Amino acid sequence: MKNTLRTVLTFVLILIISLASLSLAGCSSSKKETIYLFNYGDYIDPQVYDLFEEQYGIKVVYDEYAAPEDMYAKFTSGASEYDLICTSDYMLEKLIKEDLLSEIDFNNIENFSNISQNQLDASKSFDPDLKYTVPHFWGTLGILYNTEKVKAADVKSWDCVFDGKYKDRIIMPNSERDSFFVALTQLGYDANTTNKDQLEAAAQLLKKQKKDVQAYLLDEAARVKIESGNADIAVIYNGEAYLAFENNDKLDFVIPEEGTCMWLDAFAIPKEAKNKEAAEKFLNFLCSEEIAAINFEYIYYSTPNQAVLDSLDEEVRSETAIFPEESVFEKATVLKYLGTEAEQLYSKLWKNVKS
């Protein structure tokens, strides 16, 4: 798949750089603007920042976080000021309800028309009027496993991370909502429950599981554990799973029969942003077919950009690790913002699990 896209994208990249150089030829002496972006680590191809700066003379300063709760803590502390953030659906819902985001002027984002209607509809679950967010990627949570060490029949259910069979060979997500999703689903509860008894039961299950867990990790750190053979099962996001396939052909990815957590990450502009117009210019840049294709090639999560989707060949579109089968959506749960009281209970129980 990489080879299929790389030839096209290399040509596109050369073309963009050439056009960018011409567009800036007469304005090199102008003062350079800067926008500050807060995002998950390694979630945009680094060359995109250079391309944007070359074309518009605007520098992007990138700050990273691991989990949405980490983002919220730093974002609301006032320690740093950001012009643009990217985070997950339920956290965006929280930020909207707390009136911490600015309405986006979509007149400045003409490439927003490239976003698929399916993803716009999905975004309404946390941004009902589609005023505050621009989709970046979406995906699923499943199990990446070593086919030489783990039987395919074992990973059909979330039970495989709780039954003790793969003691000290399991990687769980270092994310309270994702880990609680797995435990609540295993117990047959709603993954968005606020019921104290149900949450405490899930916490007890996670606490009991802890002796079998090698580490709590996210994204690349979790993927590398499986790629290297240092662990055999990881609860992980689908894009990371596909990247792992390229480095180890003994791996596979499965969505357990009980269902998955389907997520959508999107960009938003903080209400206190100092450079909103430049942030919108960057969003427009990201939504272009060429740049969205470069990011898809780099990340391998499911792109919301319809123009990119339409350009993919059938081999790519049929890769179920990236684009799940329709049946997966029938048992998919989207995490919701549950309110301050429930949020505090989740955090308290999660700290107890890991202590």
Tracing tokens 């690349």 back to the chain, one arrives at 220
- Nearest partner of 179 among 156, 138, 210, 146, judged by Cα: 210
Q: In this predicted structure, what is the pLDDT of residue 7?
A: 43
Enumerate domains of the chain plus CATH numbers.
2-138+264-317 (3.40.190.10), 139-261+324-354 (3.40.190.10)
Give ∠ CA 209-213-217 in degrees, rounded to 5: 120
Burial profile 303-315: b = 16 or more Cβ within 10 angstroms, e = fewer: bbbbbbbeebeee
CB 63 within 8 A of CB 37: yes
Largest CA distance in the chain: 66
Dihedral Cα 96, 59, 28, 14, nearest 10 deg = -100
Residue 78: per-residue pLDDT: 87
Segments of the chain with pLDDT less than 50: 1-8, 10-11, 14, 17-18, 20-29
Determine what percent of the chain is predicted with pLDDT higher than 70: 91
In which region does residue 206 sit, left (phi positive, over 0), alpha (psi from -120 to 50) or beta (all else)? Answer: alpha
C-alpha triplet 284, 289, 293: angle, nearest 5°: 115
Count H helices, E strands: the chain? 15, 11
Do β-strands 170-173 and 233-237 pair in parallel, antiparallel, or remain unpaired? parallel
b/e for 207-226, b at 16 or more Cβ within 10 A?
Answer: eebeebbbebbbbebbbbbb
At 43 the pLDDT is 97
Helix (H, G, I), strand (E, B) or coil at 37: strand
pLDDT score, position 151: 97
From residue 132, give the alpha-carbon distance in Å to each of 83, 99, 126, 272, 289: 13, 10, 10, 14, 21
